[in-house]
């Protein structure tokens, strides 16, 4: 049970999401970089608009792998009170880290989206896609941030995911759709023949192609 590449993975994942096809309220978001490639195929099959959702972890200074929160597309920030309180992190440090990561987030958004504004998500069904889920930490941060944008429903979707991560995400998302949940899991890349890193240029091109497809779709 392996995928040739992210495109094939997206095509197979889309088959599990056909209940959302041709629904005007549905938006597909991809986590860069690899998640956007999978999301492009999902959006194409569902006839839905596609956008990128950039998430940046707010690492504890000196312990950057430990997340005290995250920021994401749409100007949202979520904090992890347990980490902030236990480590006694002052507000000034949180703001300093936030500002630094916000600059990087804006740089990436401009790189991927150009001057186009993000899609409106409030009241819509959002399918949040990545190319695989190992621990679920990035996706959980994305879901928490996305909630602040007030979508009607959040569907987490990935071609392959660790069963434990799916269970955790099921407590936070409205639905979790996974094509394959192997146990033992090992790593996301193990389940792809081609897991080469995508370039920023590839992601920008896919987003532009998706936008053109939406423009060319006849309106009812």
- Indicate whether 28 and 136 sit together in one domain: yes
- Indicate whether 130 and 91 sit together in one domain: no
**pLDDT, position 14:** 98
Residue with tokens 């996301």: 188
Alpha-carbon gap, residue 27 to 15, rounded angstroms = 16
Strand, coil or helix: 13 = helix
- Indicate whether 87 and 177 sit together in one domain: no
- Indicate whether 88 and 195 sit together in one domain: no
- Dihedral over Cα of 30, 34, 37, 42: its sign: negative
**pLDDT, position 219:** 53
Spell out the residues 6+ positions from residue 141 whose beta carbon is closer than 8 angstroms to its own. 55, 57, 67, 69, 70, 72, 78
**pLDDT, position 103:** 95
Structural domain includes residue 220: no
**pLDDT, position 104:** 92
Strand, coil or helix: 121 = coil
The total of structural domains in the chain comes to 2
Structural domain includes residue 216: no
- Its domain, for residue 86, covers 56-113
Alpha-carbon gap, residue 109 to 106, rounded angstroms = 5
Residue with tokens 């094509």: 179
- Indicate whether 40 and 129 sit together in one domain: yes
Report the 3 state secondary structure along 60-105: ECCEEEEEEEEEECCCEEEECHHHHHHHCCCHHHHHHHHHHHHHHH
User: pLDDT digit of tens for each residue in the chain (220 aa)?
Assistant: 899 999 999 999 999 999 999 999 999 999 999 999 999 999 999 999 999 999 998 999 998 878 899 999 888 899 989 899 999 999 999 999 999 999 999 999 999 988 888 999 999 999 999 999 998 888 988 999 999 999 999 999 999 999 999 999 999 999 999 999 999 999 999 999 999 999 999 999 999 999 998 877 665 4
Torsion of CA 31, 33, 38, 41, to 10 degrees: 100
- Indicate whether 97 and 33 sit together in one domain: no
- Indicate whether 95 and 203 sit together in one domain: no
- Indicate whether 99 and 142 sit together in one domain: no
Neighbours of 131 (CB within 10 A): 28
Neighbours of 105 (CB within 10 A): 19
Spell out the residues 6+ positions from residue 162 whose beta carbon is closer than 8 angstroms to its own. 133, 134, 135, 136, 181, 183, 185
Q: Which burial class, exposed, middle or buried, applies to 16 when counting CB atoms under 10 A from its CB (0-12, 13-18, 19+)? A: middle
Structural domain includes residue 153: yes
- Indicate whether 138 and 37 sit together in one domain: yes
Q: What's 182's domain CATH number?
A: 3.40.50.2020
Neighbours of 70 (CB within 10 A): 25
Structural domain includes residue 188: yes
Q: What's 92's domain CATH number?
A: 3.30.1310
Structural domain includes residue 45: yes
**pLDDT, position 138:** 86
Q: What global pTM score does this model have?
A: 0.90
- Indicate whether 166 and 103 sit together in one domain: no
């Amino acid at each position: 049970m392996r995928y040739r590449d992210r495109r094939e993975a997206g095509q197979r994942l889309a088959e599990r999401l056909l209940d959302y096809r041709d629904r005007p309220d549905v938006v597909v978001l991809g986590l860069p970089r690899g998640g956007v490639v999978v999301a492009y195929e999902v959006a194409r099959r569902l006839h839905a608009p596609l956008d990128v959702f950039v998430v940046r972890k707010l690492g504890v200074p000196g312990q950057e792998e430990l997340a005290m929160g995250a920021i994401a597309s749409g100007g949202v920030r979520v904090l992890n009170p347990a980490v902030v309180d236990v480590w006694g992190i002052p507000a000034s440090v949180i703001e300093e880290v936030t500002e630094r990561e916000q600059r990087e987030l804006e740089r990436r958004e401009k790189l991927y989206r150009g001057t186009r504004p993000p899609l409106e998500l409030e009241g819509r069904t959002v399918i949040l896609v990545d190319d695989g889920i190992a621990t679920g930490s990035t996706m959980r941060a994305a879901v928490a941030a996305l909630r602040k944008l007030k979508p009607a429903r959040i569907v987490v979707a990935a071609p392959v995911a660790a069963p434990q991560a799916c269970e955790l995400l099921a407590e936070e998302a409205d639905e979790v759709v996974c094509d394959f949940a192997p146990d033992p899991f090992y790593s996301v890349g193990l389940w792809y023949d081609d897991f080469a890193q995508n370039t920023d240029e590839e992601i920008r091109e896919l987003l532009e192609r998706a936008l053109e497809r939406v423009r060319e779709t006849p309106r009812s």
